[in-house]
């Protein structure tokens, strides 16, 4: 799913719903870099029953986000998305990855070399395939996102291999004026 909303509108909604200490609201947020500077210092955990999640998510979303499944490679709607914007958790809307860290890994799943901030992602060790892999989850709703592997590109050397069905994309509105760096 692709949504186009002016980024500052979403930022204000996000800050008012999730921040415990609210930074100053800015109306000049027009790029993913601006956005990352305004993320919360702490995250309020979301806990819902499996029944509630089943009502809110599609079968495919539930299978990946709550049952820790994996979508088939090369089937994700965001795999080849090259637009500027933010990838947010499909379970709770928390911004997780920015478009300027997405790269083509050839694996068939959206790949990023780092999250917007480390604290937005939770990690755990998973042995489902008989060997240890590092699972990555949304830090706010515990939704399963995918795994992180140590074979990514510079500057981190990491590959966050993420199911597209775990993400929504929020495009930076191309009509908003750019701020000067």
Task: Supply the residues annotated as catalytic.
Answer: 161
Reduce the DSSP state of residue 136 to 3 states and report it.
strand
Torsion region of 167: left, alpha or beta (phi above 0 gives left; psi -120 to 50 gives alpha) = beta
- State which of positions 70-89 bind Zn ion (CB under 5 A): 89
Burial 29-65, CB ≥16 within 10 A → b, else e: bbbbebbbebbbeebeebeeeeeebeeebeeebbbbb
Segment lying near Zn ion (by CB under 5 A), choices 18-26, 30-38, 102-110, 138-146: 138-146
Q: Which residues pair with 113 in a beta bridge?
A: none
Segment lying near Zn ion (by CB under 5 A), choices 16-24, 66-74, 127-135, 140-148: 140-148
Nearer to Zn ion, 38 or 140 (CB): 140
Binding residue count for Zn ion, defined by CB under 5 A: 8
Query: Quick check: 143 binds Zn ion (CB under 5 A)?
Result: yes
The residue ranges that bind Zn ion (CB under 5 A) are: 89, 91-92, 94, 138, 140-141, 143
């Amino acid at each position: 799913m692709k949504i186009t909303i002016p980024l500052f509108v979403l930022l204000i909604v996000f800050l008012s719903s999730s921040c415990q200490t609210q930074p100053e609201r800015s109306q000049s947020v027009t790029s993913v870099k601006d956005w990352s500077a305004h993320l919360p210092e702490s995250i309020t955990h979301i806990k819902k029953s499996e029944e509630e999640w089943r009502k809110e998510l599609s079968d495919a979303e539930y299978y990946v986000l709550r049952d820790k499944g994996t979508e088939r490679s090369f089937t994700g709607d965001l795999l080849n998305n090259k637009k500027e914007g933010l990838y947010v958790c499909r379970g709770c809307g928390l911004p997780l990855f920015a478009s300027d860290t997405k790269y083509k890994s050839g694996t068939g799943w959206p790949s990023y070399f780092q999250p917007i901030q480390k604290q937005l992602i939770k990690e755990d060790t998973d042995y489902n395939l008989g060997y240890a892999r590092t699972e990555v989850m949304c830090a706010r709703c515990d939704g399963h996102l995918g795994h992180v592997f140590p074979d990514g590109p510079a500057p981190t050397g990491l590959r966050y291999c993420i199911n597209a069905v775990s993400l929504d994309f929020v495009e930076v509105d191309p009509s908003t004026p750019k701020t000067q760096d």
